[in-house]
């Protein structure tokens, strides 16, 4: 018996050690460093093995060749989102490392989950947390002490671009990356009530450790927009105040000093928060200040996530009710805004704590440069311009019809849970057709695209011949807002804006001039209206009048011989 005692003692010791709270790399380095990717995932796997409250799920692929993960944290250990939703739990989805040079959320989420497991922090039974430990895996693997060189820690930082050198926070609509496609699946699986995307801000210097980009409330719209502006956002500020942080809106001010106030950041659907609002989710982007010490920033991120939990748990019925109401309303809503403008006649007032700014000669150029004097802090009331008004609206059709050849677009609709109904037979259908009259294309690429903007269209009714398998998209679904903002070509982040339909912008058929001359002459004799248009064009355009080729092409483009699909937008509106 005496020989067994040491073995028993070792067994008890090993059990106690296995159940001891996991220390994070952030803690081991006294708040100076953030872990590498492999260690992040290994740590979450260990926490999963240690506690029934945590489940680390393997999700879809990334461009880096590693899968995304989703760490689900709940008191009862339920990680099946069908049952989570059935049991009326509120889901908070937290995204980390979309820009891996901004790893505050990576470490804060590990600390928070560990403290929940250890019993140091208690989450209410009505809350389920879903963490994406690292979203931009490729950028996380690409580490250097030289990235984000003016940021105060950690020692090494990840890279902003992913494995395709793309900014993932511009990819939520166009989905050029596997990450964005996998995120769409995660988002619709979790159907989050609240979405949080942790970041670090650059720009001006000021006293605040944490700022918050709340999705634009007018764009969110309806009762949800009113609620996020008047209830949710102010409560977060109050909650952070009790934790020792003066939270202000994201300081959207670059190249100048912010003490005169600033405009609210416009988070269109290309961004994570803008994408989330298309699905009636309350969305936020915490932005710690880059010049504050890393340890301080991580602790502020931790505190803000606690505030999200507290508010969501306390107001779970209101949040659920508002979301359900919005989901039902969008199915029958007839008018949708597709462009907005800032209304500077209205503003909120915030208490801003800054530093006096000045100018002094640059040691690089010798010219005046901006600097902030931290020995001269100030506090003042400044305007915050956060009122936007709809500039253009469109009426919802009964359905959209997209020919099956545009599969790149229909694939993106499918990963977003859109209902598409294939035509069962070839059919001639009267639809509303858009003709692209004019547009501007950016001179330089932006995230692998040359964006189309300032789009001008005319609409007409036409009978179009569709084929079996072409896709009808009924507009009575929860995806209605997403569909309007992606399929209406004048929308800021429409698929037309992102070049998915550029094929229709180029003429494919042509003619040989000498051969077409006789055909054109014969056709003109049968079309008096075209003859008149040709004569008028000659009379008003002297250059045109002197060009035989231009006149021949004019006849061609206004004749039945010209291809009907040129500049015809290939998304058709079924309107009864």
Q: Could you identify the residue written with the tokens 């956002």?
A: 233
CATH architecture of 4-332: 3-Layer(aba) Sandwich (3.40)
Cβ(210)–Cβ(247) below 8 Å: yes
- For 458, phi then psi, to 5°, come to -125, 150
d(CA 139, CA 203): 22
What is the distance, to the nearest Å, from the Cα of residue 93 to the centroid of all Cα atoms in its chain? 14
Other CB atoms within 10 Å distance of the CB of residue 383: 16
Could you list the pLDDT tens digit for every one of the 576 residues in the chain? 444 444 444 343 334 334 677 999 999 999 999 999 999 999 999 999 999 999 999 999 999 999 999 999 999 999 999 999 999 999 999 999 999 999 999 999 999 999 999 999 999 999 999 999 999 999 999 999 999 999 999 999 999 999 999 999 999 999 999 999 999 999 999 999 999 999 999 999 999 999 999 999 999 999 999 999 999 999 999 999 999 999 999 999 877 799 999 999 999 999 999 999 999 999 999 999 999 999 999 999 999 999 999 999 999 999 999 999 999 999 999 999 999 999 999 999 999 999 999 999 999 999 999 999 999 999 999 999 999 999 999 999 999 999 999 999 999 999 999 999 999 999 999 999 999 999 999 999 999 999 999 999 999 999 999 999 999 999 999 999 999 999 999 999 999 999 999 999 999 999 999 999 999 999 999 999 999 999 999 999 999 999 999 999 999 999 999 999 999 999 999 998
> Dihedral, CA atoms, 140, 144, 147, 152, nearest 10 degrees?
100
Model pLDDT, residue 1: 42
Expressed in percent and rounded to 5, the helix, strand and coil fractions of the chain are 35, 25, 40
Bridge partners of 128, per DSSP, are: 91
Over its C-alpha atoms, the chain yields an Rg (Å, rounded) of 28
Domain parsing of the chain, residue ranges: 4-332, 390-507+566-574, 513-557
Distances from the Cα of 30 to the Cα of 23, 158, 296, angstroms = 11, 19, 11
Burial class (CB in 10 A: 0-12, 13-18, 19+), 138: buried
Closest to 170 (Cα-Cα) out of 275, 84, 19, 327: 275
The DSSP string of 424-458 is SS-EEEEEEEEEEEEEEE-SS-BTTB--EEEEEEE
d(CA 210, CA 303): 10
Instruction: Quote the DSSP letter at residue 157.
Output: B
pLDDT in tens, 254-311: 777 999 999 999 999 999 999 999 999 999 999 999 999 999 999 999 999 999 999 9
Burial class (CB in 10 A: 0-12, 13-18, 19+), 428: exposed
Handedness of CA 499, 504, 509, 514 (dihedral sign): negative
Burial class (CB in 10 A: 0-12, 13-18, 19+), 257: middle
């Amino acid at each position: 018996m005496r020989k067994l005692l040491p073995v028993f003692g070792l067994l008890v010791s090993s059990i106690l050690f296995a159940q001891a709270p996991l220390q994070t790399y952030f803690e081991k380095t006294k708040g100076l460093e953030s872990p590498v990717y492999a260690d992040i995932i290994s740590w979450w796997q260990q926490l999963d093995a240690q506690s029934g409250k945590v489940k680390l799920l393997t999700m879809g692929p990334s461009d880096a060749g590693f899968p995304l993960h989703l760490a689900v944290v709940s008191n009862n250990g339920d990680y099946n989102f069908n049952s989570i939703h059935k049991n009326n739990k509120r889901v908070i989805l937290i995204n980390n490392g979309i820009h891996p040079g901004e790893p505050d959320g990576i470490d804060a989420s590990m600390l928070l989950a560990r403290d929940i497991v250890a019993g140091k922090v208690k989450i209410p039974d009505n809350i389920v947390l879903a963490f994406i430990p690292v979203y931009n895996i490729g950028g996380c693997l690409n580490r250097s002490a030289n990235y984000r060189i003016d940021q105060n820690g950690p020692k090494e930082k990840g890279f902003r671009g992913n494995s395709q050198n793309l900014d993932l926070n511009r990819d939520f609509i166009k989905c050029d990356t596997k990450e964005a496609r996998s995120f769409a699946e995660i988002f619709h699986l979790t159907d989050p009530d609240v979405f949080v995307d942790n970041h670090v801000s650059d720009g001006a210097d000021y006293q605040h450790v944490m700022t918050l980009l709340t999705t634009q409330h007018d764009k969110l719209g309806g009762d949800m927009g009113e609620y996020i502006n008047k209830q949710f956002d102010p409560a977060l500020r109050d909650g952070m105040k009790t934790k020792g942080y003066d939270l202000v809106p994201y300081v959207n001010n670059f190249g100048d000093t912010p003490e005169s106030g600033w405009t609210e950041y416009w988070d269109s659907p290309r961004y994570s928060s803008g994408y989330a609002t298309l699905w009636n989710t309350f969305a936020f982007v915490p932005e710690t200040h880059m010049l504050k010490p890393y340890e301080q920033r991580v602790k502020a991120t931790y505190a803000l996530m606690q505030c999200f939990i507290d508010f969501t748990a306390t107001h779970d019925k209101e949040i659920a009710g508002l979301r359900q109401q919005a989901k039902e309303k969008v199915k029958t809503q007839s008018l949708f805004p597709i462009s907005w403008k800032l209304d500077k006649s209205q503003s909120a007032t915030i208490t801003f704590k800054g530093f006096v700014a000045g100018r002094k000669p640059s040691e690089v150029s010798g010219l005046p440069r901006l600097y902030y004097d931290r020995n001269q802090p100030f506090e003042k009331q400044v305007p915050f311009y956060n009122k936007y008004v709809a500039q253009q609206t469109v009426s919802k059709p009964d359905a959209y019809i997209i020919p099956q050849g545009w599969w790149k677009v229909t694939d993106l609709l499918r990963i977003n849970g859109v209902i598409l109904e294939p035509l069962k037979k070839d059919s001639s259908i009267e639809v509303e057709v858009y003709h692209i009259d004019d547009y501007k294309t950016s001179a330089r690429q932006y995230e692998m695209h040359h964006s189309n903007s300032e789009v001008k269209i005319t609409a007409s009714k036409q009978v179009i011949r569709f084929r079996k398998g072409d896709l009808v998209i009924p507009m009575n679904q929860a995806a209605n807002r997403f569909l309007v903002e992606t399929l209406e070509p004048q929308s800021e982040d429409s698929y037309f804006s992102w070049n998915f339909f550029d094929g229709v912008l180029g003429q494919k058929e042509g003619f040989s001039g000498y051969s077409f001359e006789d055909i054109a002459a014969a056709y003109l004799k049968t079309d008096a209206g075209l003859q008149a248009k040709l004569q008028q064009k000659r009379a008003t355009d002297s250059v045109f009048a002197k060009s035989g080729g231009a006149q021949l092409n004019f006849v061609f483009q206004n004749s039945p011989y010209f291809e009907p699909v040129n500049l015809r937008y290939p998304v058709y509106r079924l309107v009864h």
